[in-house]
């Protein structure tokens, strides 16, 4: 009954808090997209999506995923030391990445045939630094149950980014594209999170030391050893279409695919990301208190299944009218969006409970899952290009592989939730 009580009250309240902020931020983004598709070419969208995908792919290495560990310790002082260690790793990685890009810029541009991105590639370490920092402070606020701060941060980012991108599109600097606006949004989101986190950090700042950081980094070593690989391979496989479509079918097709996935992921992500953060917080507490994780997982999955009808049915219907909404240059956006629905539906059910991987210390198994997923997704996209030279067939293979693996992962996590093994000693 106690578990049911918090599901009905605190859990739902926290999810709604995050959903509200995410929904408002996505409404702003949707409104701006209707304008941006008429201001920027498909190629400039392709450059933007490639840059965004590179940021997402590189981010797991940037922090070694230690921000996930911030939620796990019982004491705030331990969590704060993990926060500090995460920031040190992130800064060092960003500097190293900048040096690598200076040395191998031409080779990277030649491999992906993205010479138009060459001038922006040096901004990638800055984007990774901002994105990683936001993630670190999001998890700190998650730990402190300050879900409103996370929600408001998303709204700050989306509103700033959208206004900046639209202003750029109407200005004489249209040619610089969408990337500067994205960076400005990330920067102001980080400033907001820093401002609202100062008070909670001050309470335990005297406990911060490099010795404690190293001790805790060692204690939670399974997170960087396995979870970094999991998230790197998962992000790479999710963003693989942008990379390979750019290489095989050109930046214009990459931009059309990017808009399709952006359109589909936005409403799905509103609920998915919100439930993920609250579920991680609650599942950690339930596990530490020897509660019933399996019941929590089943309840969460049932709620997600009910909610999915209100998301995917409207998305499917609207997808037939996207060329009207976005303009004549975006005729294939709706087709690409419908192809992606099977994958996104099953990902919607499985992704929010993926934090069980860390809580139950199942990273080793998930490494195998995600490496296989990456391999099969690559094969699907490549075979569609090599044998048919057809982007539609490539995307169908990609979506079917994602659907199958998400079903398998969900079944595995549901079964694993019954275990009582202690994850971290």
Q: What is the predicted pLDDT for the residue at 423?
A: 45
CA distances from 19 to 50, 80, 147, 178 (A): 27, 26, 10, 26
**172-175 LR contacts (CB < 8 Å, sep 24+):** 174/39, 174/40
Please write the tens of the pLDDT for every residue from 27-84.
787 788 888 888 888 888 888 888 898 899 998 889 888 888 888 888 888 889 999 9
- How crowded is residue 332: how many other Cβ atoms within 10 Å of its Cβ? 18
425: confidence class by pLDDT, cuts 50, 70, 90: very low
Q: What percent of the chain has pLDDT over 90?
A: 33
CA angle 148, 149, 151 (to 5 degrees): 60
Average pLDDT over residues 164-170: 93
Residues recorded for the chain: 425
| Residue located via tokens 């704060």 | 80
**Rounded to whole angstroms, how far apart are CA atoms 229 and 64?**
9
Q: Is the pLDDT of residue 116 over 70?
A: no
CA angle 48, 51, 56 (to 5 degrees): 125
What angle, 0 to 180 degrees and rounded to 10, lies between the N-to-C axes of helices 228-249 and 42-63? 160
Strand ranges (E), 240-314: none
Please write the tens of the pLDDT for every residue from 355-381.
788 778 777 788 888 889 999 999 999
Least confident of 240-244, 276-280, 389-393, 420-424: 420-424
Residues 218 and 234: beta-carbon distance below 8 Å = no
**Rounded to whole angstroms, how far apart are CA atoms 83 and 285?**
19
Please write the tens of the pLDDT for every residue from 282-301.
888 788 777 778 888 888 88
Q: What is the predicted pLDDT for the residue at 247?
A: 86
144: confidence class by pLDDT, cuts 50, 70, 90: confident
Q: Is the pLDDT of residue 204 over 50?
A: yes
Q: Is the pLDDT of residue 215 over 80?
A: yes
**Rounded to whole angstroms, how far apart are CA atoms 60 and 83?**
15
Residues 107 and 41: beta-carbon distance below 8 Å = no
Q: Is the pLDDT of residue 210 over 80?
A: yes
Residues 151 and 21: beta-carbon distance below 8 Å = yes
**Rounded to whole angstroms, how far apart are CA atoms 165 and 177?**
8
CA-based R_g, the chain, Å = 21
353: confidence class by pLDDT, cuts 50, 70, 90: confident
398: confidence class by pLDDT, cuts 50, 70, 90: very high
- Phi first, then psi, for residue 209 (nearest 5°) are -155, 155
Q: Is the pLDDT of residue 166 over 80?
A: yes
């Amino acid at each position: 009954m106690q578990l049911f009580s918090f599901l009905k009250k605190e859990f739902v309240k926290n999810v709604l808090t995050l959903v509200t902020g995410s929904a408002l931020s996505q409404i702003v983004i949707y409104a701006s997209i209707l304008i941006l598709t008429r201001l920027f070419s498909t190629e400039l969208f392709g450059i933007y999506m490639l840059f965004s995908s590179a940021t997402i792919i590189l981010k797991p290495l940037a922090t070694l995923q230690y921000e996930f560990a911030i939620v796990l310790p019982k004491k705030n002082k331990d969590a704060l030391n993990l926060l500090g260690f995460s920031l040190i790793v992130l800064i060092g990685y960003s500097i190293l990445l900048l040096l690598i890009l200076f040395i191998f810029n031409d080779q990277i541009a030649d491999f992906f045939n993205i010479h138009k991105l060459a001038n922006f590639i040096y901004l990638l370490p800055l984007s990774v630094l901002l994105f990683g920092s936001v993630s670190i402070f999001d998890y700190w606020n998650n730990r402190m149950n300050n879900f409103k701060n996370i929600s408001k941060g998303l709204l700050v980012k989306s509103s700033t980014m959208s206004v900046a991108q639209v202003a750029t599109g109407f200005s004489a600097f249209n040619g610089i594209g969408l990337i500067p606006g994205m960076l400005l949004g990330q920067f102001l989101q980080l400033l907001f999170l820093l401002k609202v986190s100062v008070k909670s950090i001050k309470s335990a700042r005297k406990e911060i030391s490099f010795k404690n950081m190293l001790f805790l980094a060692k204690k939670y070593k399974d997170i960087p050893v396995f979870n970094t690989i999991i998230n790197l391979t998962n992000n790479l496989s999710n963003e693989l279409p942008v990379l390979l479509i750019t290489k095989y079918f050109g930046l214009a097709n990459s931009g059309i695919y990017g808009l399709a996935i952006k359109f589909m992921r936005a409403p799905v992500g509103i609920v998915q990301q919100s439930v993920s953060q609250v579920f991680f917080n609650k599942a950690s507490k339930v596990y530490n208190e020897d509660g019933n994780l399996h019941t929590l997982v089943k309840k969460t999955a049932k709620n997600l299944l009910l909610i999915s009808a209100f998301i995917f049915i409207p998305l499917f219907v609207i997808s037939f009218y996207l060329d009207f909404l976005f303009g004549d240059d975006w005729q294939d956006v709706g087709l690409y969006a419908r192809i992606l629905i099977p994958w996104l539906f099953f990902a919607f059910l499985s992704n929010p409970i993926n934090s069980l991987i860390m809580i139950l210390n199942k990273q080793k198994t998930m490494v195998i899952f995600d490496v296989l997923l990456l391999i099969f997704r690559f094969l699907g996209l490549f075979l569609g290009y090599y044998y048919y030279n057809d982007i539609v067939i490539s995307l169908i293979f990609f979506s079917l592989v994602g659907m199958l693996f998400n079903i398998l992962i969900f079944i595995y996590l549901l079964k694993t939730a019954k275990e009582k093994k202690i994850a971290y000693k």
